Amino acid sequence: MLSQQQNDLITRIGPKTPAGVLMRRYWQPAALVEELAGNRPVKPVKLLGENLVIFKNGHGEYGLMERHCPHRGADLAYGRLEDGGLRCSFHGWLFATDGQCLQTPAEPDDSNLCKNIRLKAYPVREKSGILFAYMGPGEPPALPDFDCFVAPDEYTFAFKGMIDCNWLQALEVGIDPAHASFLHRFFEDEDPDAGYGKQFRGESADSDMPMTKVLREFPRPEIEVDATDYGLRITTLRKISETNTHVRVTNAIFPHGIVIPMSKEMTITQWHVPVDDTHCYWYAIFTSFGAKVDKTEMRRQRLELYSLPDYISTKNKANDYGFDPHEQEHDTYTGMGADINVHDQWAVESMGPIQDRTQEHLGKSDKAIVAYRKMLVKAIEQAGKGETPIMALDAAAAKSVTGPVAVDGIGPAAWQNYPAQLDAQRRKAAAWWKAN
Ligand code: FES
Ligand SMILES: [Fe+2]
Protein backbone atom coordinates (compact mmCIF):
# COMPACT_ATOMS: atom_id res chain seq x y z
CA MET A 1 0.00 0.00 0.00
CA LEU A 2 1.34 3.44 -0.88
CA SER A 3 0.46 6.91 0.32
CA GLN A 4 -1.26 9.19 -2.16
CA GLN A 5 1.92 11.20 -2.37
CA GLN A 6 4.01 8.12 -3.20
CA ASN A 7 1.50 7.04 -5.84
CA ASP A 8 1.57 10.49 -7.45
CA LEU A 9 5.38 10.48 -7.40
CA ILE A 10 5.68 7.24 -9.39
CA THR A 11 2.82 7.73 -11.85
CA ARG A 12 2.81 11.40 -13.01
CA ILE A 13 5.03 12.16 -15.97
CA GLY A 14 4.34 15.78 -17.02
CA PRO A 15 7.39 17.97 -17.87
CA LYS A 16 8.07 19.28 -14.34
CA THR A 17 7.12 16.21 -12.32
CA PRO A 18 9.86 14.04 -10.73
CA ALA A 19 8.97 10.93 -12.76
CA GLY A 20 8.58 13.11 -15.85
CA VAL A 21 12.13 14.37 -15.36
CA LEU A 22 13.30 10.74 -15.09
CA MET A 23 11.39 9.57 -18.19
CA ARG A 24 13.02 12.35 -20.20
CA ARG A 25 16.42 10.78 -19.61
CA TYR A 26 15.55 7.92 -22.01
CA TRP A 27 14.70 7.44 -25.68
CA GLN A 28 10.91 7.05 -25.88
CA PRO A 29 9.02 5.29 -28.65
CA ALA A 30 7.11 8.12 -30.38
CA ALA A 31 5.60 6.38 -33.45
CA LEU A 32 5.95 3.31 -35.62
CA VAL A 33 7.92 3.75 -38.84
CA GLU A 34 4.82 2.47 -40.67
CA GLU A 35 2.81 5.45 -39.38
CA LEU A 36 4.93 7.78 -41.50
CA ALA A 37 5.13 5.51 -44.53
CA GLY A 38 2.16 6.96 -46.45
CA ASN A 39 1.89 9.83 -48.93
CA ARG A 40 1.72 12.51 -46.28
CA PRO A 41 4.09 11.60 -43.45
CA VAL A 42 2.80 13.99 -40.76
CA LYS A 43 1.11 12.88 -37.56
CA PRO A 44 0.12 14.46 -34.26
CA VAL A 45 1.73 12.70 -31.30
CA LYS A 46 1.18 13.13 -27.59
CA LEU A 47 4.12 11.96 -25.55
CA LEU A 48 4.90 12.44 -21.84
CA GLY A 49 2.00 14.89 -21.68
CA GLU A 50 3.33 17.12 -24.49
CA ASN A 51 1.41 17.84 -27.69
CA LEU A 52 3.76 17.33 -30.62
CA VAL A 53 3.81 16.69 -34.33
CA ILE A 54 6.08 14.15 -36.01
CA PHE A 55 6.93 14.31 -39.71
CA LYS A 56 9.36 13.19 -42.37
CA ASN A 57 10.65 15.86 -44.74
CA GLY A 58 11.38 15.45 -48.45
CA HIS A 59 14.93 14.29 -47.67
CA GLY A 60 13.71 11.42 -45.46
CA GLU A 61 14.70 13.19 -42.22
CA TYR A 62 12.40 13.00 -39.22
CA GLY A 63 11.30 15.92 -37.09
CA LEU A 64 9.35 15.97 -33.82
CA MET A 65 8.29 19.34 -32.51
CA GLU A 66 5.66 21.33 -30.68
CA ARG A 67 2.30 21.01 -32.30
CA HIS A 68 1.21 24.63 -32.13
CA CYS A 69 2.64 27.21 -34.46
CA PRO A 70 4.58 29.92 -32.62
CA HIS A 71 2.98 32.62 -34.81
CA ARG A 72 -0.60 32.48 -33.59
CA GLY A 73 -1.01 28.94 -32.46
CA ALA A 74 -2.54 27.05 -35.40
CA ASP A 75 -2.17 23.27 -35.50
CA LEU A 76 0.93 22.15 -37.39
CA ALA A 77 -0.46 18.62 -37.74
CA TYR A 78 -2.47 20.08 -40.65
CA GLY A 79 0.61 21.71 -42.14
CA ARG A 80 2.10 21.37 -45.61
CA LEU A 81 5.16 19.22 -46.14
CA GLU A 82 7.33 21.24 -48.43
CA ASP A 83 10.72 22.90 -48.93
CA GLY A 84 12.50 20.51 -46.55
CA GLY A 85 10.22 21.19 -43.61
CA LEU A 86 6.69 21.58 -42.30
CA ARG A 87 4.80 24.72 -43.28
CA CYS A 88 1.90 26.09 -41.21
CA SER A 89 -1.29 26.23 -43.26
CA PHE A 90 -2.39 29.52 -41.66
CA HIS A 91 0.26 32.04 -42.86
CA GLY A 92 2.86 29.75 -44.35
CA TRP A 93 5.62 29.87 -41.72
CA LEU A 94 8.09 27.10 -42.51
CA PHE A 95 9.90 25.00 -39.87
CA ALA A 96 12.92 22.73 -40.28
CA THR A 97 13.17 19.34 -38.55
CA ASP A 98 15.15 20.96 -35.71
CA GLY A 99 12.31 23.45 -35.10
CA GLN A 100 14.07 26.46 -36.64
CA CYS A 101 11.71 28.82 -38.46
CA LEU A 102 13.03 29.24 -42.01
CA GLN A 103 10.45 31.50 -43.65
CA THR A 104 7.66 33.91 -42.68
CA PRO A 105 6.25 34.57 -46.17
CA ALA A 106 3.57 37.12 -45.16
CA GLU A 107 6.19 39.40 -43.59
CA PRO A 108 8.04 42.09 -45.58
CA ASP A 109 10.91 40.90 -47.78
CA ASP A 110 13.57 42.28 -45.45
CA SER A 111 12.03 40.79 -42.28
CA ASN A 112 14.36 39.01 -39.84
CA LEU A 113 11.52 37.72 -37.70
CA CYS A 114 12.09 34.03 -38.39
CA LYS A 115 15.72 34.10 -37.25
CA ASN A 116 14.70 34.27 -33.61
CA ILE A 117 11.85 31.80 -33.81
CA ARG A 118 12.53 28.22 -32.93
CA LEU A 119 10.03 25.60 -31.89
CA LYS A 120 10.87 23.13 -29.17
CA ALA A 121 12.03 20.09 -31.16
CA TYR A 122 13.38 16.70 -30.16
CA PRO A 123 15.82 14.35 -31.89
CA VAL A 124 14.32 11.26 -33.49
CA ARG A 125 16.00 8.01 -34.44
CA GLU A 126 14.72 4.96 -36.21
CA LYS A 127 15.41 1.51 -34.82
CA SER A 128 13.75 -1.84 -35.59
CA GLY A 129 10.53 -0.31 -36.95
CA ILE A 130 10.08 2.27 -34.18
CA LEU A 131 10.81 6.01 -34.16
CA PHE A 132 12.38 6.87 -30.81
CA ALA A 133 12.49 10.42 -29.47
CA TYR A 134 14.72 11.99 -26.87
CA MET A 135 12.95 14.72 -24.90
CA GLY A 136 15.50 15.30 -22.17
CA PRO A 137 18.48 17.54 -21.46
CA GLY A 138 21.99 17.18 -22.87
CA GLU A 139 23.24 14.35 -25.03
CA PRO A 140 20.80 11.45 -25.47
CA PRO A 141 21.88 8.12 -23.98
CA ALA A 142 22.83 5.17 -26.20
CA LEU A 143 20.38 2.36 -26.84
CA PRO A 144 21.53 -0.97 -25.39
CA ASP A 145 22.60 -3.86 -27.61
CA PHE A 146 19.41 -5.79 -26.88
CA ASP A 147 18.41 -8.57 -29.27
CA CYS A 148 15.50 -6.50 -30.60
CA PHE A 149 17.97 -3.81 -31.72
CA VAL A 150 20.71 -6.14 -32.93
CA ALA A 151 18.56 -8.50 -35.02
CA PRO A 152 18.25 -7.52 -38.69
CA ASP A 153 14.99 -6.04 -39.92
CA GLU A 154 13.67 -9.33 -41.41
CA TYR A 155 13.80 -10.90 -37.96
CA THR A 156 11.81 -8.21 -36.15
CA PHE A 157 8.31 -6.82 -36.33
CA ALA A 158 7.02 -3.74 -34.51
CA PHE A 159 3.49 -2.84 -33.50
CA LYS A 160 1.65 -0.75 -30.89
CA GLY A 161 -1.67 -0.41 -29.11
CA MET A 162 -3.37 2.23 -27.00
CA ILE A 163 -4.22 1.54 -23.36
CA ASP A 164 -6.68 3.81 -21.63
CA CYS A 165 -4.90 4.21 -18.27
CA ASN A 166 -1.67 5.28 -16.60
CA TRP A 167 1.53 3.69 -17.91
CA LEU A 168 2.64 2.21 -14.59
CA GLN A 169 -0.26 -0.17 -14.11
CA ALA A 170 0.17 -1.26 -17.75
CA LEU A 171 3.83 -2.04 -17.03
CA GLU A 172 3.04 -3.77 -13.75
CA VAL A 173 0.90 -6.42 -15.45
CA GLY A 174 3.97 -7.28 -17.51
CA ILE A 175 6.10 -8.00 -14.43
CA ASP A 176 3.43 -10.01 -12.66
CA PRO A 177 4.04 -13.65 -13.65
CA ALA A 178 1.23 -15.06 -11.51
CA HIS A 179 -1.64 -13.45 -13.43
CA ALA A 180 -1.08 -15.58 -16.54
CA SER A 181 -2.41 -18.66 -14.74
CA PHE A 182 -5.74 -16.92 -14.22
CA LEU A 183 -6.35 -13.98 -16.56
CA HIS A 184 -5.03 -15.87 -19.61
CA ARG A 185 -6.46 -19.29 -18.72
CA PHE A 186 -7.96 -21.35 -21.53
CA PHE A 187 -9.99 -24.38 -20.48
CA GLU A 188 -8.90 -26.29 -23.60
CA ASP A 189 -5.54 -26.17 -25.37
CA GLU A 190 -5.38 -25.16 -29.01
CA ASP A 191 -3.22 -27.01 -31.51
CA PRO A 192 0.20 -25.45 -30.67
CA ASP A 193 1.14 -25.51 -34.36
CA ALA A 194 -1.66 -23.01 -35.02
CA GLY A 195 -0.19 -20.60 -32.50
CA TYR A 196 2.16 -18.64 -34.78
CA GLY A 197 2.41 -15.02 -33.72
CA LYS A 198 0.40 -15.59 -30.53
CA GLN A 199 1.60 -15.71 -26.97
CA PHE A 200 1.24 -18.75 -24.69
CA ARG A 201 -0.23 -20.95 -27.44
CA GLY A 202 2.91 -22.86 -28.38
CA GLU A 203 4.66 -25.57 -26.38
CA SER A 204 7.16 -24.91 -23.64
CA ALA A 205 10.66 -25.80 -24.80
CA ASP A 206 11.82 -29.37 -24.19
CA SER A 207 8.29 -30.65 -23.71
CA ASP A 208 5.07 -31.29 -25.54
CA MET A 209 3.07 -29.39 -22.96
CA PRO A 210 1.38 -26.27 -24.35
CA MET A 211 2.13 -23.20 -22.25
CA THR A 212 -1.61 -22.85 -21.64
CA LYS A 213 -1.66 -26.25 -19.89
CA VAL A 214 1.34 -25.41 -17.70
CA LEU A 215 -0.21 -22.12 -16.66
CA ARG A 216 -3.62 -23.66 -15.99
CA GLU A 217 -2.44 -26.62 -13.97
CA PHE A 218 0.27 -24.94 -11.90
CA PRO A 219 -1.14 -21.66 -10.62
CA ARG A 220 1.14 -21.07 -7.60
CA PRO A 221 4.55 -20.21 -9.00
CA GLU A 222 7.64 -19.53 -6.99
CA ILE A 223 9.08 -16.21 -8.19
CA GLU A 224 12.71 -15.15 -7.97
CA VAL A 225 13.69 -11.56 -8.68
CA ASP A 226 17.27 -10.46 -9.37
CA ALA A 227 18.53 -6.93 -9.96
CA THR A 228 20.53 -6.60 -13.19
CA ASP A 229 22.25 -3.83 -15.15
CA TYR A 230 19.06 -3.27 -17.20
CA GLY A 231 16.41 -3.70 -14.48
CA LEU A 232 15.12 -7.00 -13.11
CA ARG A 233 15.31 -10.61 -14.13
CA ILE A 234 12.19 -12.46 -13.03
CA THR A 235 12.42 -16.26 -12.84
CA THR A 236 9.10 -18.00 -12.42
CA LEU A 237 9.19 -21.63 -11.33
CA ARG A 238 6.39 -24.16 -11.53
CA LYS A 239 7.21 -27.57 -10.13
CA ILE A 240 5.73 -30.02 -12.62
CA SER A 241 6.95 -33.24 -10.95
CA GLU A 242 9.73 -34.50 -8.72
CA THR A 243 12.04 -34.44 -11.73
CA ASN A 244 10.82 -31.45 -13.76
CA THR A 245 10.40 -27.72 -13.24
CA HIS A 246 8.78 -25.30 -15.62
CA VAL A 247 11.05 -22.27 -15.83
CA ARG A 248 10.00 -18.97 -17.35
CA VAL A 249 12.43 -16.07 -17.43
CA THR A 250 11.05 -12.59 -18.10
CA ASN A 251 12.60 -9.17 -17.55
CA ALA A 252 11.77 -5.64 -16.48
CA ILE A 253 13.71 -3.22 -18.66
CA PHE A 254 14.08 0.12 -16.96
CA PRO A 255 12.24 2.50 -17.11
CA HIS A 256 9.03 1.00 -18.55
CA GLY A 257 9.78 -2.07 -20.66
CA ILE A 258 9.67 -5.83 -20.48
CA VAL A 259 11.32 -8.63 -22.45
CA ILE A 260 9.42 -11.90 -22.38
CA PRO A 261 9.38 -15.13 -24.36
CA MET A 262 6.48 -15.38 -26.80
CA SER A 263 7.14 -18.80 -28.27
CA LYS A 264 10.12 -21.10 -28.64
CA GLU A 265 11.56 -18.93 -31.37
CA MET A 266 10.31 -15.43 -30.60
CA THR A 267 10.61 -12.89 -27.81
CA ILE A 268 8.64 -9.71 -27.21
CA THR A 269 10.27 -6.49 -26.08
CA GLN A 270 7.52 -4.14 -25.01
CA TRP A 271 7.55 -0.58 -23.70
CA HIS A 272 4.66 1.11 -21.87
CA VAL A 273 5.03 4.65 -23.07
CA PRO A 274 3.15 7.44 -21.29
CA VAL A 275 0.98 9.51 -23.64
CA ASP A 276 -0.13 11.54 -20.63
CA ASP A 277 -0.96 10.62 -17.03
CA THR A 278 -4.02 8.59 -17.98
CA HIS A 279 -3.15 7.01 -21.35
CA CYS A 280 -0.28 4.98 -22.68
CA TYR A 281 0.77 3.05 -25.74
CA TRP A 282 2.43 -0.33 -25.64
CA TYR A 283 5.09 -0.52 -28.32
CA ALA A 284 6.46 -3.98 -29.04
CA ILE A 285 9.25 -5.46 -31.08
CA PHE A 286 8.82 -9.16 -31.80
CA THR A 287 12.24 -10.73 -32.39
CA SER A 288 12.73 -14.12 -34.03
CA PHE A 289 15.67 -16.41 -33.30
CA GLY A 290 14.30 -18.87 -35.87
CA ALA A 291 12.79 -18.14 -39.26
CA LYS A 292 12.40 -14.62 -40.64
CA VAL A 293 9.28 -12.95 -39.26
CA ASP A 294 6.15 -13.11 -41.38
CA LYS A 295 5.42 -9.40 -40.98
CA THR A 296 2.30 -9.49 -43.15
CA GLU A 297 0.72 -12.21 -41.03
CA MET A 298 1.79 -10.62 -37.72
CA ARG A 299 0.31 -7.31 -38.83
CA ARG A 300 -2.90 -8.91 -40.15
CA GLN A 301 -3.45 -10.69 -36.81
CA ARG A 302 -3.01 -7.50 -34.85
CA LEU A 303 -5.19 -5.42 -37.16
CA GLU A 304 -8.05 -7.80 -36.33
CA LEU A 305 -8.11 -6.09 -32.94
CA TYR A 306 -6.51 -2.66 -33.38
CA SER A 307 -8.04 0.02 -35.58
CA LEU A 308 -6.00 2.60 -37.44
CA PRO A 309 -4.85 5.34 -37.46
CA ASP A 310 -4.53 5.42 -33.67
CA TYR A 311 -4.09 1.69 -32.91
CA ILE A 312 -7.10 1.60 -30.60
CA SER A 313 -8.46 -1.77 -29.56
CA THR A 314 -11.91 -2.41 -31.01
CA LYS A 315 -12.70 -4.40 -27.87
CA ASN A 316 -12.71 -1.88 -25.07
CA LYS A 317 -14.59 -0.36 -22.14
CA ALA A 318 -17.33 0.94 -24.44
CA ASN A 319 -18.36 -2.61 -25.47
CA ASP A 320 -17.44 -4.48 -22.26
CA TYR A 321 -14.34 -5.90 -24.00
CA GLY A 322 -16.66 -8.37 -25.76
CA PHE A 323 -17.51 -10.01 -22.42
CA ASP A 324 -19.61 -13.15 -22.86
CA PRO A 325 -20.74 -14.96 -19.68
CA HIS A 326 -21.25 -18.24 -21.58
CA GLU A 327 -17.69 -18.15 -22.81
CA GLN A 328 -16.51 -17.34 -19.28
CA GLU A 329 -18.26 -20.47 -18.03
CA HIS A 330 -16.99 -22.80 -20.74
CA ASP A 331 -13.92 -21.55 -22.56
CA THR A 332 -11.87 -18.78 -21.02
CA TYR A 333 -11.29 -17.31 -17.58
CA THR A 334 -12.30 -13.79 -18.61
CA GLY A 335 -15.05 -14.48 -21.16
CA MET A 336 -13.32 -11.92 -23.37
CA GLY A 337 -12.07 -14.08 -26.21
CA ALA A 338 -8.72 -15.66 -26.95
CA ASP A 339 -6.60 -12.54 -27.51
CA ILE A 340 -4.53 -12.04 -24.38
CA ASN A 341 -4.01 -8.37 -25.22
CA VAL A 342 -7.71 -7.84 -24.50
CA HIS A 343 -7.39 -9.61 -21.14
CA ASP A 344 -4.46 -7.44 -20.09
CA GLN A 345 -6.18 -4.33 -21.34
CA TRP A 346 -9.31 -5.08 -19.31
CA ALA A 347 -7.25 -5.86 -16.20
CA VAL A 348 -5.34 -2.60 -16.24
CA GLU A 349 -8.08 -0.29 -17.52
CA SER A 350 -10.57 -1.65 -15.00
CA MET A 351 -8.35 -0.33 -12.19
CA GLY A 352 -9.29 3.23 -13.25
CA PRO A 353 -7.28 5.95 -15.01
CA ILE A 354 -4.57 5.85 -12.31
CA GLN A 355 -4.69 2.86 -9.99
CA ASP A 356 -5.39 3.91 -6.40
CA ARG A 357 -2.43 2.21 -4.76
CA THR A 358 -3.48 3.52 -1.33
CA GLN A 359 -6.06 0.70 -1.39
CA GLU A 360 -4.04 -2.23 -2.71
CA HIS A 361 -2.81 -5.29 -0.77
CA LEU A 362 0.26 -6.84 -2.32
CA GLY A 363 1.15 -10.50 -1.84
CA LYS A 364 4.25 -12.60 -2.32
CA SER A 365 3.41 -13.08 -5.98
CA ASP A 366 3.76 -9.29 -6.43
CA LYS A 367 7.43 -9.45 -5.54
CA ALA A 368 8.71 -8.10 -8.86
CA ILE A 369 6.32 -5.15 -8.68
CA VAL A 370 7.63 -4.24 -5.24
CA ALA A 371 11.25 -4.52 -6.42
CA TYR A 372 10.54 -2.45 -9.54
CA ARG A 373 8.86 0.37 -7.58
CA LYS A 374 11.92 0.60 -5.31
CA MET A 375 14.13 0.86 -8.35
CA LEU A 376 11.84 3.52 -9.81
CA VAL A 377 11.85 5.67 -6.66
CA LYS A 378 15.64 5.48 -6.47
CA ALA A 379 16.00 6.49 -10.13
CA ILE A 380 13.53 9.37 -9.67
CA GLU A 381 15.68 10.66 -6.79
CA GLN A 382 18.86 10.33 -8.85
CA ALA A 383 17.39 12.11 -11.87
CA GLY A 384 16.11 14.86 -9.56
CA LYS A 385 19.68 15.46 -8.37
CA GLY A 386 21.02 15.48 -11.92
CA GLU A 387 22.72 12.10 -11.43
CA THR A 388 22.72 9.32 -14.00
CA PRO A 389 19.96 6.78 -13.35
CA ILE A 390 20.09 3.11 -14.37
CA MET A 391 19.90 2.55 -18.17
CA ALA A 392 20.84 6.13 -19.10
CA LEU A 393 23.78 4.50 -20.87
CA ASP A 394 26.85 5.89 -22.55
CA ALA A 395 28.03 4.23 -25.78
CA ALA A 396 30.56 1.96 -24.05
CA ALA A 397 28.14 0.74 -21.40
CA ALA A 398 25.40 0.16 -24.00
CA LYS A 399 27.58 -2.46 -25.70
CA SER A 400 27.59 -4.59 -22.59
CA VAL A 401 23.84 -4.46 -21.99
CA THR A 402 22.75 -7.36 -24.18
CA GLY A 403 20.19 -10.15 -24.45
CA PRO A 404 18.44 -10.45 -22.16
CA VAL A 405 17.60 -14.10 -21.60
CA ALA A 406 13.84 -14.58 -22.06
CA VAL A 407 12.93 -18.23 -22.20
CA ASP A 408 10.18 -20.66 -21.31
CA GLY A 409 10.83 -24.38 -20.94
CA ILE A 410 10.56 -27.48 -18.84
CA GLY A 411 13.90 -28.30 -17.29
CA PRO A 412 15.24 -30.52 -14.56
CA ALA A 413 14.40 -30.15 -10.87
CA ALA A 414 17.83 -28.55 -10.46
CA TRP A 415 16.90 -25.85 -12.94
CA GLN A 416 19.59 -23.23 -12.18
CA ASN A 417 21.64 -23.69 -15.36
CA TYR A 418 18.68 -24.43 -17.57
CA PRO A 419 17.69 -20.88 -18.72
CA ALA A 420 21.25 -20.10 -19.84
CA GLN A 421 21.46 -23.41 -21.72
CA LEU A 422 18.12 -22.84 -23.44
CA ASP A 423 19.15 -19.31 -24.36
CA ALA A 424 22.55 -20.42 -25.72
CA GLN A 425 20.94 -23.16 -27.78
CA ARG A 426 18.47 -20.72 -29.33
CA ARG A 427 21.16 -18.13 -30.09
CA LYS A 428 23.38 -20.73 -31.71
CA ALA A 429 20.56 -21.63 -34.09
CA ALA A 430 19.74 -17.98 -34.93
CA ALA A 431 21.02 -16.98 -38.39
CA TRP A 432 21.77 -13.43 -37.22
CA TRP A 433 23.37 -14.05 -33.85
CA LYS A 434 27.11 -13.51 -33.58
CA ALA A 435 28.68 -14.06 -30.19
CA ASN A 436 30.95 -11.15 -29.25
S1 FES B 1 -0.40 30.59 -37.10
FE2 FES B 1 1.09 29.47 -38.17
S3 FES B 1 1.78 30.83 -39.69
FE4 FES B 1 0.33 31.94 -38.61
FE1 LIG C 1 -0.91 -10.72 -19.37
CA of 67 to the centre of ligand 1 (A): 12
Q: What is the pTM of this model?
A: 0.95
CA of 252 to the centre of ligand 2 (A): 14
Does the Cβ of 433 fall within 6 Å of ligand 1?
Answer: no
Does the Cβ of 71 fall within 6 Å of ligand 1?
Answer: yes
Per-residue model confidence as pLDDT tens digits over 287-334 = 999 999 999 999 999 999 999 999 999 999 999 999 999 999 999 999
Where are the domains positioned within the chain?
Answer: 31-134, 145-429
Strand locations in 149-278 (E): 156-163, 222-227, 231-239, 244-253, 257-261, 266-276
Indicate the range of 198-202, 347-351, 370-374 predicted with least confidence.
Answer: 198-202
Q: Give, for 126, the enclosing helix (H) or strand (E).
A: strand 124-127
Per-residue model confidence as pLDDT tens digits over 16-56 = 999 999 999 999 999 999 999 999 999 999 999 999 999 99
| pLDDT band of 201, cuts 50, 70, 90 | low
> Which atom of ligand 1 is closest in space to residue 91's alpha carbon?
3
Tell me, what's the pLDDT at 22? 98
Per-residue model confidence as pLDDT tens digits over 340-368 = 999 999 999 999 999 999 999 999 999 99
Q: How far apart are the C-alpha atoms of 360 and 362, rounded to whole Å?
A: 6
The protein residue with its alpha carbon nearest to ligand 1, atom 3, reads 91
The protein residue with its alpha carbon nearest to ligand 1, atom 1, reads 72
Does the Cβ of 33 fall within 6 Å of ligand 1?
Answer: no
The DSSP line for 208-239 is: S-BHHHHHHH----EEEEEE-SSEEEEEEEEE
Per-residue model confidence as pLDDT tens digits over 227-284 = 999 999 999 999 999 999 999 999 999 999 999 999 889 999 999 999 999 999 999 9
Q: Pick the ligand that lies closest to the CA of residue 107.
A: 1
Per-residue model confidence as pLDDT tens digits over 86-137 = 999 999 999 999 999 999 999 999 999 999 999 999 999 999 999 999 999 9
The protein residue with its alpha carbon nearest to ligand 1, atom 4, reads 91
Tell me, what's the pLDDT at 382? 98
Q: Pick the ligand that lies closest to the CA of residue 117.
A: 1
For the 145-429 domain, the top CATH level (class) is alpha beta
Which architecture does CATH list for 31-134? 3-layer Sandwich (2.102)
> Which atom of ligand 1 is closest in space to residue 73's alpha carbon?
1
Tell me, what's the pLDDT at 210? 85
Tell me, what's the pLDDT at 436? 55
* pLDDT exceeds 70 at position 192: no
> Which atom of ligand 1 is closest in space to residue 88's alpha carbon?
2
